[in-house]
């Protein structure tokens, strides 16, 4: 079996399994036609007014910055595991990674993205 045929078999199997799981869940899951089911709910207190409200862009910016730096930090763990095998080239590549990370942090700091207004 060639690589492309194997890939096609795996892809089709995955699609069939996902569609089957969704169909079985739709058939077996209990359903309710109660209109209250679609209402917003928070802490047992009925909402007053519209549940749609605007948030300051600072929340989103802070969350995106957190995710970016968190993911970059998580990428350091595999590097630390194989550091001995990488040698000087691995050390230089991670140093370059840290420099880019520090420049990104300095840029966000200079732009005031880390200040909570």
Q: DSSP string spanning 95-115?
A: HHHHHHHHHHHHHHHHTTTT-
Tell whether the model's pLDDT for residue 100 goes beyond 70. yes
> What percent of the chain stands above pLDDT 90?
23
Identify the band that residue 60 occupies on the pLDDT scale cut at 50, 70 and 90: confident
Q: Would you call 65 exposed, middle or buried from its count of C-beta atoms within 10 A (0-12, 13-18, 19+)?
A: middle
The residue that leads in pLDDT, 100 or 61, is 100
Residue 68's CB is within 10 A of a number of other CB atoms, namely 14
SS3 70: helix
Residue with tokens 């929340």: 59
| Structural contact between residues 90 and 83, judged by C-beta atoms closer than 8 angstroms | yes
Tell whether the model's pLDDT for residue 113 goes beyond 70. yes
Identify the band that residue 47 occupies on the pLDDT scale cut at 50, 70 and 90: low
**pLDDT for res 22:** 96
**pLDDT for res 27:** 92
pTM of whole model > 0.85?
Answer: no
Please give the sequence-ordered ranges of beta strands (E in DSSP) within 54-114, or none if there are none: none
């Amino acid at each position: 079996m060639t690589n492309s045929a194997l890939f096609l078999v795996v892809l089709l199997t995955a699609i069939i399994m996902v569609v089957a799981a969704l169909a079985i869940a739709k058939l077996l899951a209990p359903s309710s036609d109660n209109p209250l089911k679609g209402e917003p709910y928070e802490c047992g207190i009925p909402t007053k007014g519209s549940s749609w409200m605007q948030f300051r862009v600072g929340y989103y910016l802070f969350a995106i910055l957190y995710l970016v730096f968190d993911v970059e930090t998580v990428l350091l763990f595999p590097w630390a595991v194989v550091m001995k095998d990488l040698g000087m080239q691995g050390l230089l590549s991670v140093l370059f990674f840290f420099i880019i990370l520090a420049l990104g942090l300095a840029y966000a700091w200079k732009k005031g993205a880390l200040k909570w207004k």
